Structure 1
Amino acid sequence: MGFWDWLTGRDTPPPAPVPEVDPAPTEGDILASLDGVDQLISGGALPAVVRSRAARVTRLVRQTLPRLGSLGLGSYDSYSVVATATDYLPEAIGAYLRLPRDWADSRPVENGKTPLLLLIDQLDLLGATMEKIYDAANSTDAAALITHGKFLQERFGHSPAADLNVPTPPSGNSPDPFDLERP
C-alpha cells in the first residue's frame, strides 16, 4: 500500500465483523428460570434445609425484580440479581441433584464438607447477597422519604406531635388521681 492509497483510503481492509451478543434476559425469562427452580425445590429430591434456603433466594429475587431500575440498569447489583436467577441458583441446585443422594450427603469432597454442606453454604451466600441487594433497591425510596420529611420539618417548622392538642393539666392544688397516700 502506497502513500497515495493510504491517504485516499483505497485498499483498506474491510471492518472486522461485530460479534453477536445474546440479548439480556427479559423479566419473563428471569421469572421462567425462577419457576424452574421452584419446580426443582418442590420435586422432593432436596432436603428441607436446602428447600427453605433456595426458596428464600427465589423470594428475594422476585421481590427485587420490580425494583431493578432503582439499582441502575447495567449495574453490578442488577447483573447479580439476573445471574442469580438464571445461572447461579439453578446451577448450584442442578449440580447437587446430579449426584447420587447417599454420596452427596455423606462424602466429604472439599475441606471436610459434603456436597450437601457446600450447597447450603452457597445458598446462604446467595441469600445474604440478595438480601443486601433488596435493601439497596429499597434504600433509594427510603432516602427520598427521609429527605421529604426533613423538607416538611423545615417548611412548616414544628413537630407533628405538637398538633395533637393534648391538654396540659391545670396547675394548682388539684388532687393527683395517682397519689395513693391521700384519702
Structure 2
Amino acid sequence: MGLRSLWRGRRERADDERVVVPPAPTEQDVRAALNRVNAMLSQGNAPPVVRARMVRVMSTINQTLPRLSQLGLGSQEGYSVVAMATDYLPEALQAYLRLPRDWADTRPIDGPKTALMVLVEQLELLAATADEILDAANRADAQALVAHGRFLEAKFGRASSGGPDLTLEAP
C-alpha cells in the first residue's frame, strides 16, 4: 500500500465522517423553551419566591429577544440568552422540583444553604445577567439615537442653540 492509497483512504473516511451542525435556535425556539419552563413552573410545586424570580428572568429574556439582532445572535450575549431559556432555567427548575418540597426547603445541602436558597441564588444571578444583556441591547439603540442626533446637528446645526425659529407671524 503506497502513500497515495493511504491518503485516499483517509480522505474517503473524512468525507464519510462529516459533522452535521444543527441550525441555531430561532426566536420562536427560545419562546417555545420559555413556554415549556412556564409549564413546568405551573405544574410544579414551586414556592412563590421561585415563581417570582423565574417570571422575572423569563420576562427579561422575552424583552431581549427582539433586540438580539443588535447584539448579534452569534455573540456571547446572544448565546447566553438562548442558553438561559433552553438550558439554565429548565435545568435549575427541574433539579429543584425533583426534590421533595419539605426536604428541599429545610435541609442544608451546601453548607447552611437549602436547595431553595441555592436555586434562588442561581435565579438571582440569571436575572442580573439577563438585565445586563437587555441593558446592552438598549444601549445599542440609545447610541444609535445619539449618533443620529449628532448627524442632524452637523447637517442642520442650531439644535443646541434652540433650533431654527419656526414661529409664524401674522401678515
Normalising by structure 1, report the TM-score.
Answer: 0.79
How far 1:109 sits from its partner (Å)? 0.5
1:73 aligns to what SS in structure 2?
A: coil
Cα distance in structure 1, aligned partners of 2:44 and 2:152? 54
Cα distance in structure 1, aligned partners of 2:127 and 2:114? 20
Task: State the one-letter code of the partner of 1:138.
Answer: N
Cα distance in structure 1, aligned partners of 2:24 and 2:72? 15
How far 1:68 sits from its partner (Å)? 1.4
How far 1:55 sits from its partner (Å)? 0.3
Q: Specify the alignment match of 2:151 in structure 1.
A: 151
Cα distance in structure 2, aligned partners of 1:52 and 1:107? 22
Q: Specify the alignment match of 1:101 in structure 2.
A: 101
Is residue 15 of structure 1 aligned with residue 10 of structure 2?
no
Change (3 A) 1:25 1:155: closer
Change (3 A) 1:159 1:28: closer
Cα distance in structure 2, aligned partners of 1:36 and 1:10? 53
Aligned residues: 160
| Larger-gyration structure (1/2) | 1
- RMSD (Å) for aligned C-alpha atoms: 2.0
Q: Specify the alignment match of 2:168 in structure 1.
A: none
Q: Which has the larger displacement, 40-49 or 55-64?
A: 40-49
1:109 aligns to what SS in structure 2?
A: strand
Change (3 A) 1:149 1:112: same
Q: Specify the alignment match of 1:63 in structure 2.
A: 63
Q: Specify the alignment match of 1:141 in structure 2.
A: 141
1:21 aligns to what SS in structure 2?
A: coil
The one-character-per-residue Cα deviations of 1:75-102 (angstroms, maximum 9, x if unpaired) are: 1111111110011001101110000000
- Of all paired residues, the percent bearing the same amino acid is 52
How far 1:23 sits from its partner (Å)? 3.1
How far 1:43 sits from its partner (Å)? 3.4
Q: Is the 8 A contact 2:105 2:115 kept in 1?
A: yes
Change (3 A) 1:39 1:161: farther
Q: Which has the larger displacement, 73-82 or 121-130?
A: 73-82
Task: State the one-letter code of the partner of 2:24.
Answer: A
Cα distance in structure 1, aligned partners of 2:111 and 2:104? 14
Q: Specify the alignment match of 1:130 in structure 2.
A: 130
Q: Is the 8 A contact 1:41 1:55 kept in 2?
A: no
Task: State the one-letter code of the partner of 1:42.
Answer: S
Q: Is the 8 A contact 2:33 2:85 kept in 1?
A: yes
How far 1:38 sits from its partner (Å)? 1.4
Cα distance in structure 2, aligned partners of 1:155 and 1:164? 13
Cα distance in structure 2, aligned partners of 1:132 and 1:75? 14
Higher helix share goes to which structure?
Answer: 2
Identify unmatched segments of 5+ residues in structure 2. Answer: 166-171
